[in-house]
């Protein structure tokens, strides 16, 4: 919009904008950026947290990408499978989301038996606001989970990225 010598600064649209065509599939009607406070928790007992945690998200249409950072983080008293909780939007009821959880230093994951791969991925579950942490698998067995972390004295420094679809 505008010309090279006079451009519009802001555009406010109440109905969205059509990109590449006039059909409903070409209508971008939702874009949002924001912050949230992520948690790690146990699926049976949530546990207590200390340290800093940060979350950012970008929502374009029905797709959400979250970025998470943990600094000097500790989780104690949790039980069950560990999951990333408090996602900013509920996951679509029929589609799983996927992501990667990279712990940089200060923690070692505790895994269910039969697993020795410590590369951790995340799977966002339909109709939930959390993603389960799982070791990356080379087989078709997806019943292995991260059940805890052994934290060093400095706490965990970790980053995560997750993409999922909302309703």
> Which residues, at least 6 apart from 13, have a Cβ–Cβ distance to it below 8 Å?
none
Q: Tell me the pLDDT tens digit for each residue of 6-47.
A: 777 777 777 878 888 888 788 887 889 999 999 999 999 989
Tokens describing residue 8: 């519009």
Closest CA to 124 of 164, 80, 81: 164
How large a percentage of the chain has pLDDT more than 70? 91
Average of per-residue pLDDT across 45-51: 91
Q: Tell me the pLDDT tens digit for each residue of 136-164.
A: 765 555 567 888 887 777 888 889 999 99
Tokens describing residue 48: 């207590």
CA triple 7-10-11, angle to 5 deg: 105
> CA 8 → CA 1, 5, 30, 31, distances in Å?
7, 10, 20, 19
Tokens describing residue 121: 């991925």
What's the CA gap between 120 and 49, in Å, rounded? 20
Q: Which residue has the higher pLDDT, 87 or 149?
A: 87
Instruction: Examine the pLDDT at 116 and tell me if it is beyond 70.
Output: no
The verdict on pTM exceeding 0.85 is: no
């Amino acid at each position: 919009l505008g010309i090279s010598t006079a451009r519009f600064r802001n555009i406010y649209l109440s109905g969205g904008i059509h990109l590449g065509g006039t059909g409903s599939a070409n209508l971008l009607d939702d874009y949002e950026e924001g912050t949230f406070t992520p948690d790690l928790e146990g699926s049976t007992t949530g546990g207590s947290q200390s340290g800093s945690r940060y979350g950012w998200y970008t929502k374009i249409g029905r797709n959400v990408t979250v970025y998470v950072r943990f600094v000097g983080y500790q989780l104690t008293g949790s039980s069950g499978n560990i999951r990333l909780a408090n996602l900013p939007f509920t996951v679509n009821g029929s589609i799983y989301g996927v992501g990667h959880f990279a712990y940089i230093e200060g923690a070692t994951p505790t895994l269910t038996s039969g697993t020795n791969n410590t590369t951790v991925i995340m799977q966002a579950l339909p109709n939930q606001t959390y993603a389960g942490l799982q070791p990356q698998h080379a087989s078709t067995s997806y019943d292995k989970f991260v059940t805890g972390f052994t934290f060093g004295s400095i706490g965990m420094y970790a980053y995560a990225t997750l993409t999922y679809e909302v309703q």
